[in-house]
Amino acid sequence: MIDTKQILGMIPHRYPFLLVDRLVEIRRDHSAVGIKNVTVNEPFFQGHFPGHPVMPGVLIIESMAQTAAGMVIATLGPDAGIPIVYFMSIDGAKFRKPVTPGDQLRITVTKEKRRGQIWRFACAARVDGAMVAEATITAMIMENETPA
């Protein structure tokens, strides 16, 4: 298991934009499972939506990307530093059910393809076993940042 402190050493995201709390399973160069505990204290709930808090779909996609980034770093190894990752495409995004405070997202990402610096992942997010979102994301791994 990789906890939040270790994730901070792997990807450049910081509060309030760190959207994965831990990685509970990593199969290098294959897949990863991330956990995001959704709490009422999340800053986005102030405006999305007052009186009816719903996690924005784009942030669910971002949590998928951060889980994928953790798998990439685990695959490349600690000498790779912290790469800058740019989205290239998000395909087939579907949102099946709202994610609300108290939910725990279980995010599964599986590498579909890698060609050089381009990686493509099949992603799914579930709450209590029920699919809440899915997408295929493609990203480019760019220059490395020296770990702080």
Q: Which residues are catalytic?
A: 48
Q: H helices of 25-116, where? A: 57-76
**b/e per residue, 90-105, with b = 16+ CB within 10 A?**
beebebeeebeeebeb
Q: Which residues contact 31 (CB under 8 A, 6 or more apart)?
A: 25, 71, 108, 109, 110, 111
5, containing H or E segment: helix 4-8
- Of 8, 9, 5, nearest in space to 78 by CA: 9
List the Cα angle 125/121/71 in 5-degree steps: 85
